[in-house]
Amino acid sequence: MIKQLEICAEIEETVSRVYSCLAEQLPTGSELRLIWEEMARDELEHARLLQFAQRFEPDKTYAGYHIAEDEARRLLVGVQETFDLVRMKTLSEREAVMALLKLEEDFMRVHLRLAVECLDPTMQETFNRLGKADETHVARLKEYSLRN
């Protein structure tokens, strides 16, 4: 489980880089740039929380659900592919929003499943916070996509 959490922290750091890269491509002060910058900061906080989660003994912390390493790696590959597309500026604004919306929905499901399966109340709260933050990101991305 520790390896999976390491991969999840790497995912969050990569998503932060995606949001930062997207922000840099927009004019200072634009609405979407402000959204991207805030989400980049949020994702770094998520990575910090996942690094914290690695300190807990897995067998005493998690009940039935364990994120499979291949699932974590699949999510990481998806994020890295999105980052490559963003760096190459091959995604339109709408495509970037939709790609990140899908990733955030995937992360939300993983975090909420982990929250339900945690035996340790501190870790349960940590994953609950991560899931709720992802839910907020999903809502913001949906709201933005509907307006534009």
pTM, to two decimals: 0.84
Q: Pick from 52, 54, 49: which is nearest to 129 by CA?
A: 49
Give the mean model confidence (pLDDT) for residues 13-40. 92
Distance CA(102)–CA(145), nearest Å, equals 13
pLDDT at 61: 60
Q: Pick from 93, 94, 103: which is nearest to 15 by CA?
A: 103
Which of the two residues, 64 and 148, has the higher pLDDT score? 148
